[in-house]
Amino acid sequence: MKTQEMLQKLKELEQIQYAYQYAMGVTSFDGNTVAPKNSYKARGQAMSVLSGETYKKFINNEVKELLYGLQEKKKELDFVSNRKVEKYIEEYEKISKIPIKEFMEFTKLRNESNHSWEQAKTNDDFDSFAPYLTKIIEFNKRFANYRKPEKKAYDVLLDDFEKGMEMDDIDKFFEQLKKDVVPSIKEVVSKSAKIRDDFLNRKFPIDKQKELSYILTDLLNMNRDDYTIGESEHPFTMGLNNNDVRFTTHYYGNQIASSFYSTMHEAGHAIYGLNSDEKLNTTVLAGGASNGIHESQSRFYENLIGRSKEFIQYVFPTMKKLFPEQLGDVTALEFYLAVNKPKTSLIRIEADELTYSLHIMVRYEIERMMFEGDVNVKDLPAIWNKKYEEYLGIIPPNNTQGILQDVHWGFGMMGYFPSYALGSAYASQFLAKMKETIKFDSEVAKGDFTKINLWLKENIQTHGAIYTPKQLIMKTCGEEFNPAYYADYLNDKFKAL
């Protein structure tokens, strides 16, 4: 086949893949937002058929020959086409090296295990979940070994979620935090205890909170014709293409910070999802470089912008107008301090900026033990609690608020957690670079996001999945990933509180 024909075939493959992904993405978004509760029954049936169809459309000899054929013609292809082929081959090898029978078994196990985790969390019963967790670890080890027998299993998993990152990188990252951030946490937390934050839990009418969400996204210059804000139990973003991104938030009648900051966070993911270069739109290279880089954008908008003094000073008068009774006696500075108050807490998703990465560190070290060490699954709750005592100074009173709190392991995902912490660290490094050319603080203080958005778009978002995280950081910052920026940012911010 001629190269042009092959490229045409690649385009057809992309269009087919995109169509299925779009339909399954919308169906999943719908299922998590507006679909009636009992819809899960027949949706499962439909989704499982469509997954099978998608599998068959991709894992077959025709596609295989096309992809490896194009790989051989590397020199004739442009940069973007080569990256598409590489990305598809990665996907192809990831799926096709696992025997289909075991892949189906794992899918089944994940569903059962997820259900078992839900029960176990509700009943504070780790032992009932332990056999599933054991099997999940075994499957992950086995699959990693099928796929890349030359690599350590946990490195294979880390690479799935954060391409190019291995244990060595993550270790260095956490070592830096242990050295530069952990030592001061106790003091910062105890000094902050007197910060007033009671007003965050007053009654905030939900319709006004909804208005606030759109005030925030308007302020960030998002085009209302390109996104929609839904509601769901856990906030998430579904990026479908450059004109179609949906994110959700959760409104609580007695909290203001929760939906405020999940809107800012998800808006960051959404902006990323809308900003791929047009030639990458709806292709395999759209939608972001990695979990960690995605998280860098959400954390950028949530924390570096949203929890900055300048932003709160800019937006607080509007909030007071929306909530005159609730915030009438509060100053912008008090609000700033309240939403930044560091606390040593048990629950990751409620953690403040300062302590967040320590929650991740606990999970990373335990995952590392699962794959590298010789640990017995039954001992994990005790290990978890000991690490919380060591890093955060508190001991979970039960496993529901301890090792059972997160959905990931029950759902079969291991190696995912580090990307959360990496995202925050990447964001700090990007900010430092941005500040070389943009007066970040004063732009935020003016409520003008034109330059900031453009910088993030041109340096990060427009590239989609063209570069690996490491390549992208090097290209954007002119140096390797360096966690010192993050440590400095945290120290500067929290010591000054």
For 123, other C-beta atoms within 10 Å of its C-beta total 13
Q: Does residue 59 interact with its own copies by CB under 8 A?
A: no
> What tokens were used for 311?
């932003």
Whichever of 12 and 187 has its CB closer to its own copies, that residue is: 12
Q: Which residues contact 465 (CB under 8 A, 6 or more apart)?
A: 83, 87, 280, 284, 285, 286, 287, 288, 289, 290
CA distance 349 to 331: 26
The reply on whether position 147 binds its own copies by CB under 8 A is: no
> Which of 8, 15, 221, 254 lies at the binding interface for its own copies (CB under 8 A)?
15
**Choices 41-49, 191-199, 294-302, 326-334 (CB under 8 A): range interacting with its own copies:** 41-49
Q: Which of 206, 269, 214, 230 is nearest to 32 (CA)?
A: 230
Nearest distance in Å: CB 267, its own copies: 14
Question: Which is nearer to its own copies, 228 or 468 (by Cβ)?
Answer: 228
Rounded Cα distance between 305 and 311, Å, is: 6
The CA distance from 497 to 495, in Å, is: 6
Separation CA 409–CA 157 (nearest Å): 13
Q: How far apart are CA 103 and CA 105, in angstroms?
A: 5
CA gap 264, 216 in Å, rounded = 7
Binding-site member from 69, 230, 393, 447 for its own copies (CB under 8 A) = 230
Q: Which is nearer to its own copies, 224 or 446 (CB)?
A: 224
Strand pairing class (244-249; 237-241): antiparallel
Q: Which of 127, 115, 160 minimizes the C-alpha distance to 367?
A: 160
Applying CB under 8 A, among 7, 9, 29, 493 the residue interacting with its own copies is: 29
61 binds its own copies (CB under 8 A): no
First vs last C-alpha separation in the chain:
65
Stretch binding its own copies (CB under 8 A), from 19-27, 116-124, 185-193, 489-497: 19-27
Q: Does 238 bind its own copies (CB under 8 A)?
A: no
Shortest Å, Cβ 241 to its own copies = 4
Considering only the stretches 85-93, 147-155, 240-248, 347-355, report the one whose residues sit in contact with its own copies under the rule CB under 8 A.
Answer: 240-248
In whole angstroms, the minimum distance from the beta carbon of 43 to its own copies comes to 7
Q: Which is nearer to its own copies, 50 or 95 (CB)?
A: 50
Tokens (6 digits) for 59: 């894992």
Shorter beta-carbon distance to its own copies: residue 162 or 244: 244
DSSP 198: G
Contacts to its own copies from residues 410-449, by CB under 8 A: none
Please say which residue, 168 or 225, places its beta carbon nearer to its own copies.
225
Quick one: DSSP state of residue 480?
-
Site for its own copies in 126-145 (CB under 8 A): none
Query: DSSP readout, 298-325?
Result: HHIIIIIITTSHHHHHHHHHHHHHH-HH
Q: Give min distance, CB of 243 to its own copies, in A.
A: 4
Give yes or no for residue 246 binding its own copies (CB under 8 A): yes
- φ, ψ of residue 241 to 5 degrees: the values are -170, -175
Structure tokens at 490: 């945290």
Residue 249 Cβ, how far from its own copies at the closest point, in Å? 14
Count of residues interacting with its own copies (CB under 8 A):
45
**Site track 178-217 with its own copies (rule: CB under 8 A), x = hit:** -----------------------------x----------
Q: Which stretch binds its own copies (CB under 8 A): 29-37, 139-147, 164-172, 341-349?
A: 29-37
Distance CA 411, CA 13 (A): 29
Q: Are 299 and 265 in contact (CB under 8 A)?
A: yes
Q: Is 46 in the site for its own copies (CB under 8 A)?
A: yes
| Catalytic pick among 266, 353, 367, 443 | 266
Task: Considering the complex, state which of residue 240 and residue 330 has its C-beta at the smaller distance from its own copies.
Answer: 240
User: Which is it for strands 227-231 and 244-249: parallel, antiparallel or unpaired?
Assistant: parallel
5 belongs to the catalytic site: no
CB nearer its own copies, residue 52 or residue 149:
52
Q: With respect to its own copies, which residue has the nearer C-beta, 51 or 190?
A: 51
Q: Counting contacts by CB under 8 A, is residue 276 touching its own copies?
A: no
Q: Which of 196, 224, 234, 279 binds its own copies (CB under 8 A)?
A: 224
Kindly state the tokens that stand for 455.
């910088």
| Interacting residues of 203 by C-beta distance below 8 A, sequence separation 6+ | 253, 254, 326
Q: Which residues bind its own copies (CB under 8 A)?
A: 15-16, 18-20, 22-24, 26-27, 29-30, 33-39, 41-43, 45-47, 49-50, 53, 207, 223-228, 230, 240-246, 281-282
| Catalytic residue set | 266
